[in-house]
A = this chain, B = another copy of it.
Amino acid sequence: MTVLDVTQLQLILEQAFPGSEVPRVENVNGDTVIVYQPVDERHGRPGGTLSGPTMMMLADTSAWMAILAQIGPVLLAVTTSLHIDFLRKPDLTDLMARATVIKLGRKLAVVDVSLFSRGREELVAKAQVTYSIPTDKP
């Protein structure tokens, strides 16, 4: 069902953001991927927690990975909307995203993303992300 594996997705991420530290793809399984952001003190913000932008970036990136795992390397798929609810302060450890494709249409894909700290079950944030899929996809 998936057409790209962990290694291929990781390579796409690294080529898309050359020279940057990018999140890491940990698992691909059916319509769901696990992607995480290794965390250190650079990501902190007032109150001693992970920054909101780090969480939003990971929600966006993991949604992109979940879609590409299904449709292949459509690099120009673009985010059309993102909604996120911040629920709890994450720990200063790996920030995990579980991203599940809940709609894969011809024009739009919608991904449900749960963010949590590695080793904990409770959610730190919850997002719904929509991508537009170019109709001239390979």
Binding site for B on A (CB under 8 A): 16-17, 45-47, 52-53, 56-57, 60, 75-76, 78-88, 102-103, 107-108, 110, 112, 123, 126, 128, 130, 132
* A107-B128 contact, Cβ under 8 Å, with A56-B82, A75-B46: no
13 inter-chain pairs at a CB distance below 8 angstroms, sorted by A residue, are: A16-B45, A16-B46, A53-B60, A56-B57, A78-B86, A79-B86, A80-B86, A80-B108, A81-B81, A81-B130, A82-B84, A85-B110, A102-B123
* A81-B85 contact, Cβ under 8 Å, with A53-B53, A126-B102: yes
Q: Give how many copies assemble into the complex.
A: 4
Collect the chain B residues with CB atoms within 8 Å of residue A110's CB: 85, 87, 126
